[in-house]
Amino acid sequence: MRSGTHRRDTPGDRGIAPASAGIRNAVPISTPHRNPVPLPPDDHRPSGDAPVSDDAVTDALPSGRSAAGQPPHAGDGSPDRPSGHASPAEDRPPGPEGKPLPVWRNIHRLVWRTIVKSWDDGIVGWAAQAAFWQALSLPPLLLGVLGSVGYLAGWFGPDTVNVISDRIISFADRTFSASVVDDLIKPTVDNVLGRGRVGVISVGFLLSLWAGSSAVSCFVASIVRAHDQHEVRNPVWQRIFALLLYVVFLAVAVPLLPLVALGPDYLRQIVPDSWDPIVSQLIAFGYFPFVAVLMLLVLTTLYHLALPNPLPWHRLVGGAIVAGVFFWIASYILRIYLAQIVRAGYSYGALATPIAFLLFAFFLGFAIVIGAEFNAALQSMWPAKPTMTVQVREWVTTQTAEVTEQLKTLPERLSSGPISRRRRADDEQDADDPADHRPD
């Protein structure tokens, strides 16, 4: 509609929506790479009567998330991280960028994270399962170890067998009834320790390999799950690995068992007189610290070998100390509890000893699992650099993947085109001169 006064048509009068309205009403593109951006200032808008083109608006608008006033990866996915996953900055605990967290001010967070992670991973179930397999493997294991000690007793002196036998019988007297000790335990120990028993060793070790390796497998599985590496190792290989680890444990336990069982007093007696008094003083003051360090070394080795991507050795000592202290406190409280029950006259009959042993085995498994959870929490708050073994393994994996990809594309690179028959010259000439083929 025209009036007397000449009025310039606007884009809206011509049926063309203004560019600003189109941009404001447009549906945002929900892709990981593009987000709607606000309009530019007025001084950036193109002036004139012609409709604003999309290219002009695109050229005038600032680009990037920072220009749009949005932080990177705010609320939507990104090309590198899928939607719903936190960024690496969110995974890290709060602290100055690029600086480690203060240790003493975050001890409570470390303890709380260990407790929460342990409960989420089912520490009670793992400890109970390991306790069951320990109880099932102990009788054949003791028979196999005692049968092996009969061959190795001569290395530690002529009275080694008698000392070990007396220690076992005295422990059995405090645990079992007199009839059980006299009729069953004492004849069995004397018969097994008197000389090496190949049959006892073979049968006992075969039974203990099945049950004992299952207990070690529980420990390995709980340690791997604590560090979120349970999907790295093949389950079949993990079971075989637990069996091999149990065999190594038995090989180390057989020669060390007499040293632990004899005690410092008997070791000082078998030391030659020419070594006194230095060696005797070392045994008197260093025996129990040596046993404690040996146990910490065994636990640290277990934590290190159980992981497919192991942490440095020194980063696993903390969990071994936590496990040792926890088991010592738990066993001390359990001994007080059992002593109070015996003093009060409550008796469970023949089930008293298995129940007590199951409780000790449960607390042992609980201590090992909570030590692994402590190491995992420590690693999450203060990450350690990957070990040389992990770096070499990653490099080998990368090189293997590259070679595999090249081998996959080798048939395509060596393949030729379709086989075609070359036409002879006379055939080509006949095809070019169709007049020769006309009928007369």
Higher pLDDT, 244 or 5: 244
- 374 pLDDT above the threshold of 90: yes
321, pLDDT greater than 90: yes
Question: What is the Cα–Cα distance from 131 to 218, expressed in whole angstroms?
Answer: 10
185-192: average pLDDT: 73
- Tokens 């409280």 belong to 333
Model confidence at 139, in pLDDT bands (50, 70, 90)? confident
Of 332, 333, 354, the C-alpha closest to 135 is 354
Q: Whole-model pTM?
A: 0.59
Instruction: Calculate mean pLDDT across residues 140-148.
Output: 69
Q: What would the mean pLDDT of 346-356 be, rounded to a whole number?
A: 67
Give the per-residue pLDDT at 95.
53
Work out the average pLDDT over 281-296. 83
321 CB contacts (<8 Å, ≥6 apart)? 296, 371
**Using one digit for the tens of pLDDT, what is the confidence trace for 395-431?**
888 888 888 888 887 777 776 656 656 566 555 565 5
pLDDT given at position 115: 92
pLDDT at 341 over 50: yes
Other C-beta atoms within 10 Å of 220: how many?
Answer: 23
**Cα–Cα–Cα angle for 387, 392, 396, rounded to 5 degrees:** 150
Which of 5-19, 141-155, 240-254 is predicted least confidently? 5-19
Report the amino acid identity of residue 221: A
* Predicted pLDDT at 83: 35
Which two tokens mark 60? Answer: 């005038």
Indicate the pLDDT class of residue 157, thresholds 50, 70 and 90: low
Instruction: Spell out the domain ranges in the chain.
Output: 113-395
* Interval 110-124 mean pLDDT: 90
Q: How confident is the model at residue 439 (pLDDT cuts 50, 70, 90)?
A: low
Distance of CA 105 to the CA centre of its chain: 27
